[in-house]
Amino acid sequence: MRPQVLTIAGSDSGGGAGIQADLKTFQELGVFGTSVLTAITAQNTLGVHGIEAISTEMIIQQIDAVADDFNITACKTGMLVDAERIEAVANALERHRFEHVVVDPVMVAKGGASLLQVSAVEALRTKLIPQATIVTPNIPEAEVLAGMEIRTEADRMKAAQAIRALGVDTVIIKGGHTDDVEAVDLIMSETETFCVKAPRIQTKDTHGTGCTFSAALTAELAYGKTLRQAVVDAKQFIHQAIAHGLSIGQGHGPTNHWGHRLAKEEVITVDVLYETSAR
């Protein structure tokens, strides 16, 4: 039986991020994707032009309907809009207890539009993240969650420790917002800390990278892969999606979700900083 996974996120009418990116990623990686819609956006590569939230009652109904019928092995969350919807999703996840819950703490769209109300950050920190097994912030999101600036590698380690203290098993702080030659992600769990690296690609077509990476990670975990292998494979998937850009739209274009079919070379390297025998 194919693994069955769930995404709880907003709709991107431009097709590059959100629910659409998640389902494309699930399909490419051979898992069966189900979805729960939290909001509808009027969005394209130039930005977010409107947001309309789905009622909390309907969000809960969707989650329960999926969970009651499908054997969901892994679940991810994306855009959740506000504290009320974050709490509703967190309560539903606590009831259903999926084996893997990947939280992508979506705060701002590529064009700069806010996708999470400021008042919702505390709900994210205290309600949702404790229900997660993995949280995948980029550096600006990690700064908000950890309550500190991140300027150095030591800062990133300290921030990861602070976010883990919120109750999540594993923190992945992505390196897409640096100017380094390599895009370096820091992964910290109780039993290991390591970095995964890929050559940085200079492109404006990076809309939906966070959604796509977290969806790929969700799919790989659903296959039963170890944390390290799942992260490496998800990093390879998003690297190829960026490398084989589509040049669509006038702004921040989408990644290419079938890019992994066009090149198979392994470009990801792993630098283990800490591990115990229990992995």
Beta bridge partners of 183: 198
- Edge-first strand order for the sheet with 182-188 is 47-53, 32-44, 4-12, 72-77, 100-103, 134-135, 170-173, 182-188, 192-199, 269-275
Catalytic annotation, pick one of 174, 175, 218, 253: 174
Looking at residue 257, its amino acid is H
> Are 127 and 88 spatial neighbours (Cβ–Cβ below 8 Å)?
no
Tokens 């589509």: give the residue. Answer: 246
Distance CA(226)–CA(221), nearest Å, equals: 7
Distance CA(102)–CA(77), nearest Å, equals: 6
Catalytic annotation, pick one of 76, 197, 211, 212: 211
Catalytic annotation, pick one of 78, 208, 253, 259: 208
Catalytic annotation, pick one of 209, 212, 218, 255: 209
Distance CA(133)–CA(85), nearest Å, equals: 19
Closest CA to 66 of 24, 19, 29: 19
208 flagged as catalytic: yes
Catalytic annotation, pick one of 78, 210, 253, 259: 210
Distance CA(139)–CA(263), nearest Å, equals: 28
> Are 128 and 90 spatial neighbours (Cβ–Cβ below 8 Å)?
yes
Catalytic annotation, pick one of 206, 212, 218, 255: 206
Buried b (16+ CB within 10 A) or exposed e, 88-112: bbbbbbeebebebbbbbbbbebbee
224 flagged as catalytic: no
Tokens 């030659």: give the residue. Answer: 181
264 flagged as catalytic: no
Catalytic residue positions?
Answer: 174, 206, 208-211
